[in-house]
Chain A
Amino acid sequence: MQQVSTPSQTTLPLVKPHTRLAWVGQLFFIVLGLAVVYILGKNLISNPTLFANIFISGLQLGFVYAMIALGYTMVYGIVKLINFAHGDVFMVGAFVSFFAVTRFNLHQWPLAVFPSIPPMVGVVIGSISVIILSMLICIMLAVTIERVAYKPLRDAPRIAALITAIGVSFFLEYFGALNFVFSPRFIPYERPFEVVAWYIKGGIHQVVPGTQPPDGSITFSNILLIIMLASVLVQIFLQFLVKRTKIGVAMRAASYDKQAARLMGIDVDSVISFTFAIGAAFAGLGGVLYAIAYSSIWSQLGILPGLKAFVAAVLGGIGSIPGAFVGALIMGQAESMTMGYISTPMRDAVAFTILIIVLLIRPTGIFGEPEKEKA
């Protein structure tokens, strides 16, 4: 008598929708891919050293994006919110380090307090303390934003929260652009330590400051190495945090099912705050390193790197930490290759093209798992 609808996954076989003309779209992607391969291959053969230099600059960009993308991917994984303000937290991190270095000479405190220690050690400790200060202030900022703006809207429609995020982002950008805050101008960034560059041409040589490296050489700097090291350490730390610690388990549980996690005695609100804090800390770290690498900051610094890092997180599979890392490296390369071989301004266009293509071909990203249907 009672005809109850049966659960589809058990009784009904998965029928693939009937498709026609699928080859047209596939051909389009194949042609697109072949064009990319052709352009890159042609340039690789005609000038390998230029290619290598572009690759290295893309690597540097990619590792910075990786640090920002972590915040996006973790926050999206838990609250399903594109945290637009994350890029601005990154900007605040850069500015905090700027004030710490230029106004307060924080990077010189070890040498001022203990004049006897070797200068190298002093610079390292000083720089690390600048970074830690930036991270702390970013954490405070992000947790404040989360508590004030996002928490009241947790049960509201997702778009309301998204508009709020845009509003917070706007507020930070334009509040930062006021003269008594950061000023709307580009500011030359004073580095806490000297940049040393090397070039490879029959062995590794140091570039003499103030001169150009010889033609046909591959150059890299200590900044690149520091960024790579920091980014990889962050990855390892996060893997450890998420997989091995109690709070990591809580984070995974909250991202899987908030209601059930709450029933299991997890304080979901503080887990969410913790996630925002972790993401903000790495954004702050990324901000300092970005500012050191590119040595020019302004109040809208964070918008485009933030958006690109988000695209990187989507590319890698949103919610997945290794995915964010891989996606960010691909994004860095894509942007750098576009700058080198197509046109510098198109660097912003390529990110969103990649986003659309990825979402069309594989909506879950490279490492993403298919979304669990929630009632």
Chain B
Amino acid sequence: MEFGFLVGSIVKILALLAYIYGILWVMAQPSRWVKAGGLIVAFGVVQLGLTKFGNFQILNSFDSGLLFQASAMTMVALGLNLIYGFNGQFSLGQWGFYGIGAYTAADITYRWVNGDARGLVVIAVGTILGAVILTGINKLLNQIRGVPVMSAFTLYLIGSIAAGYVAVMAGKLLFPVFQPLLGTNLEPGILATGIPLQVVFFLAVILAGVFAAEISFLLGVPVLTLGSDYFGIATLGFTIVVNVLMVNSDTILPFPEMKGGRGMVGIPKLTTWFWAFFFMIVVIVIMRNILRSSTGRAIMSVREDETAAKAMGIDIAGSKLMSFIIGSLFAGMGGAIYAHFIGFLSPGSFDFLVGFNPLIIVVFGGLGSMTGTIAASFGWLFFLEGLLRVLLGQMGTEAPTWRYVLYPLTLLLLMLIRPQGLLGTVEWGFLKAKEVLVRQKPKPASTDTPAVQA
């Protein structure tokens, strides 16, 4: 039985990796119709695998759980790869943003299904207004020039506090409007079921990401000016602070529904394979397009040589901030997917020790390789979560600890033998950067164009 499971798992891992590569291959095709059709087919294949035909199901519920977790992990790890792999800023704060995204999205939908629209309204108004205010201040400060970091941070902080205050007021004002439409937990109203709920879930994922991105902006403004390893420690501190706030979310923070250290229960399980797949592909495509744009080249040039990049006229601080914000956006979205898959959030799963997982994935997959990160995320979850748990099943409760004994050893070996990660900067298919063609001299016109006139 164990052996059958083992073989089955290995086949599933290989099939999934082949599947992901297949998606990427389809995305690399030039035709837009092939892309769209390929994506629909790809989605349908897994949906078919997840469907139950009588007693037979290719991907059982354990596998589908891993699938959701792997897509959430892919988003987080891609975000970290953008920050650390492509931009060279050693961040340990990714897990904190993941937690922020998870709790924000969970709070929105939890309140929504319990007849309380304030979660959605406050977060929506707050993030949109905050984005407007922060961008405005940023534009203003860019014009003034020469503003010290702490002054800028203070202004941003005041701006976001003002946005938050307005958002809370707006929530109080708009709260009664939604009340009859939402109903209660037992008798859900028209907006708390069916398609409106799915729309709210979609908004919750996006808003959670944007909220995490705004927090990362506020954190990044002062912290990104520190040196490389100080930045790591400060972001690690951020993860610890977020975790502390989660443990005290019902005492220090005014969120009784999060229940502090006991964990938040009753989150509607809205993550389906469609949503996980959708957001994962969105994240992959956004990141690939960013990396191919001039912004992405600026981000990568900062990693290679800051001085040279500065000499080329690249805004170093802006590039760092940009990659940090986008990475956190991805992490927040991943957290939202995770929260609605598992239906239960406890601060223990956002501990900073667990927070090294995305770092391990990124280092394994290759610093600066999206392909490697995606493969490593899926492989990591399936191999180490699924397979190892079965293999070490005989060891009982010790198995997870053994797993964490083996991770660092592999990490150490990897660092000693191949510090750039297994795949290095190799990209494949759709994710591959365009080859820069050597500019050719324009050929003489006479040989190319036959004399039509004559």
Known: A28-B154, A171-B405. A18 touches B415 (CB 8 A): no
Inter-subunit contact B248/A24 (CB<8 Å): no
| Contact pattern, A 50-94, Cβ under 8 Å of B = 1, otherwise 0 | 000000000000000000000000000000001000000000000
Report the Cα distance A240→B276, complex, angstroms. 62
A307 within 8 A of B: yes
From B157, which residue of chain A is reached at the shortest CB distance? A28
Q: Which residues of chain B have C-beta atoms less than 8 A from A11's C-beta?
A: none
Q: Please give the distance in Å from B228's CB to the nearest CB on chain A.
A: 6
A19 within 8 A of B: yes
Name the interface residues of B340-381: CB closer than 8 Å to any CB of A: 353, 356, 359, 363
Q: Please give the distance in Å from B331's CB to the nearest CB on chain A.
A: 19
B419 within 8 A of A: yes
Known: A17-B146, A345-B244, A352-B241. A163 touches B151 (CB 8 A): no
| Contact pattern, B 229-267, Cβ under 8 Å of A = 1, otherwise 0 | 110111011101100110110011000000000000000
Inter-subunit contact A162/B236 (CB<8 Å): no
Inter-subunit contact A160/B234 (CB<8 Å): no
Name the interface residues of A1-60: CB closer than 8 Å to any CB of B: 17-29
Q: Which residues of chain A have C-beta atoms less than 8 A from B415's C-beta?
A: 153, 156, 160, 163-164, 167
From A314, which residue of chain B is reached at the shortest CB distance? B230
Q: Which of A163, A164, A169 has the most CB of B within 10 A?
A: A163
User: Which one of B150, B225, B233, B419 lies within 8 Å of A28 (CB-CB)?
Assistant: B150
From A148, which residue of chain B is reached at the shortest CB distance? B412
User: Which one of A24, A171, A177 lies within 8 Å of B412 (CB-CB)?
Assistant: A171
Q: Please give the distance in Å from B289's CB to the nearest CB on chain A.
A: 27
Inter-subunit contact A163/B363 (CB<8 Å): yes
Q: Which residues of chain B have C-beta atoms less than 8 A from A184's C-beta?
A: 401
Inter-subunit contact B363/A21 (CB<8 Å): no
Q: Which residues of chain B have C-beta atoms less than 8 A from A171's C-beta?
A: 405, 408-409, 412
Inter-subunit contact B419/A170 (CB<8 Å): no
Q: Which residues of chain B have C-beta atoms less than 8 A from A300's C-beta?
A: 353
Inter-subunit contact B412/A164 (CB<8 Å): yes
Q: Which residues of chain A have C-beta atoms less than 8 A from B153's C-beta?
A: 25, 28
B148 within 8 A of A: yes
Report the Cα distance A367→B281, complex, angstroms. 51
Report the Cα distance A164→B146, complex, angstroms. 38
Q: Which residues of chain B have C-beta atoms less than 8 A from A314's C-beta?
A: 230
Inter-subunit contact A170/B404 (CB<8 Å): yes
- Looking at A219-227, A324-332, A355-363, the stretch in contact with chain B turns out to be A355-363
Inter-subunit contact B151/A345 (CB<8 Å): no
Name the interface residues of B367-418: CB closer than 8 Å to any CB of A: 398, 401-402, 404-405, 407-409, 411-412, 415-416
Q: Which residues of chain A have C-beta atoms less than 8 A from B411's C-beta?
A: 163-164, 166-167, 170
Known: A17-B146, A20-B145, A21-B151. A307 touches B408 (CB 8 A): no
Inter-subunit contact B241/A360 (CB<8 Å): no
Q: Please give the distance in Å from B237's CB to the nearest CB on chain A.
A: 3
Report the Cα distance A345→B347, complex, angstroms. 13
Inter-subunit contact B240/A82 (CB<8 Å): no
B223 within 8 A of A: yes
Name the interface residues of B55-75: CB closer than 8 Å to any CB of A: none
B181 within 8 A of A: no
Inter-subunit contact A343/B412 (CB<8 Å): no
B222 within 8 A of A: yes
Q: Which residues of chain B have C-beta atoms less than 8 A from A152's C-beta?
A: 416
Inter-subunit contact A359/B408 (CB<8 Å): no
Q: Please give the distance in Å from B229's CB to the nearest CB on chain A.
A: 5
User: Which one of B154, B233, B401 lies within 8 Å of A177 (CB-CB)?
Assistant: B401
Report the Cα distance A300→B352, complex, angstroms. 12
Q: Which residues of chain B have C-beta atoms less than 8 A from A169's C-beta?
A: 408
Report the Cα distance A168→B226, complex, angstroms. 25
Q: Which residues of chain A have C-beta atoms less than 8 A from B251's C-beta?
A: 343
Known: A21-B151, A346-B244. A170 touches B356 (CB 8 A): yes
Inter-subunit contact A24/B155 (CB<8 Å): yes
Q: Which residues of chain A have C-beta atoms less than 8 A from B405's C-beta?
A: 171, 174-175, 178
Q: Which residues of chain A have C-beta atoms less than 8 A from B234's C-beta?
A: 352, 355-356, 359
User: Which one of A170, A178, A351 lies within 8 Å of B237 (CB-CB)?
Assistant: A351
Q: Please give the distance in Å from B117's CB to the nearest CB on chain A.
A: 31
Task: Report the count of interface residues on A (CB-CB < 8 A).
Answer: 57
Q: Which residues of chain B have C-beta atoms less than 8 A from A26's C-beta?
A: 150
Inter-subunit contact B419/A160 (CB<8 Å): yes
Known: A25-B150, A25-B151, A27-B154. A20 touches B144 (CB 8 A): yes
Name the interface residues of A311-369: CB closer than 8 Å to any CB of B: 311, 314, 343, 345-346, 348-349, 351-353, 355-356, 359-360, 363
Inter-subunit contact B226/A359 (CB<8 Å): yes
From B400, which residue of chain A is reached at the shortest CB distance? A174
Known: A162-B90, A167-B412. A25 touches B228 (CB 8 A): no
Inter-subunit contact A24/B419 (CB<8 Å): no
Known: A170-B407, A352-B241. A343 touches B232 (CB 8 A): no
Inter-subunit contact A162/B419 (CB<8 Å): no
Inter-subunit contact B248/A345 (CB<8 Å): yes
Known: A163-B411, A359-B226. A22 touches B401 (CB 8 A): no
Name the interface residues of B150-180: CB closer than 8 Å to any CB of A: 150-155, 157
Known: A152-B416, A174-B401. A159 touches B146 (CB 8 A): no
Report the Cα distance A352→B244, complex, angstroms. 12
Known: A20-B145, A352-B238. A346 touches B252 (CB 8 A): yes
B18 within 8 A of A: no
Q: Please give the distance in Å from B145's CB to the nearest CB on chain A.
A: 7
Report the Cα distance A164→B416, complex, angstroms. 9
Q: Which of A343, A360, A363 has the most CB of B within 10 A?
A: A360
B11 within 8 A of A: no
Q: Which residues of chain B have C-beta atoms less than 8 A from A174's C-beta?
A: 401, 404-405, 408
Known: A20-B145, A162-B90. A178 touches B398 (CB 8 A): yes
Inter-subunit contact B408/A179 (CB<8 Å): no
B149 within 8 A of A: yes
Q: Which residues of chain B have C-beta atoms less than 8 A from A363's C-beta?
A: 226-227
**B contact residues vs A (CB 8 Å cutoff):** 90, 144-155, 157, 222-223, 225-230, 232-234, 236-238, 240-241, 244-245, 247-248, 251-252, 353, 356, 359, 363, 398, 401-402, 404-405, 407-409, 411-412, 415-416, 419
Between A and B, 15 residue pairs with Cβ closer than 8 Å are A21-B151, A24-B150, A24-B154, A25-B150, A25-B154, A29-B150, A171-B409, A343-B248, A346-B248, A348-B241, A352-B233, A353-B237, A356-B226, A359-B226, A360-B150
Please list the 4 inter-chain residue pairs (A to B) with the smallest Cβ-Cβ separation, ordered nearest first. Answer: A352-B237, A25-B150, A174-B404, A25-B151
Beyond the given A163-B411, A167-B409, could you list 7 further A-B residue pairs with CB under 8 A, ordered by the A residue number?
A: A18-B146, A25-B150, A26-B150, A164-B415, A168-B408, A170-B411, A307-B233
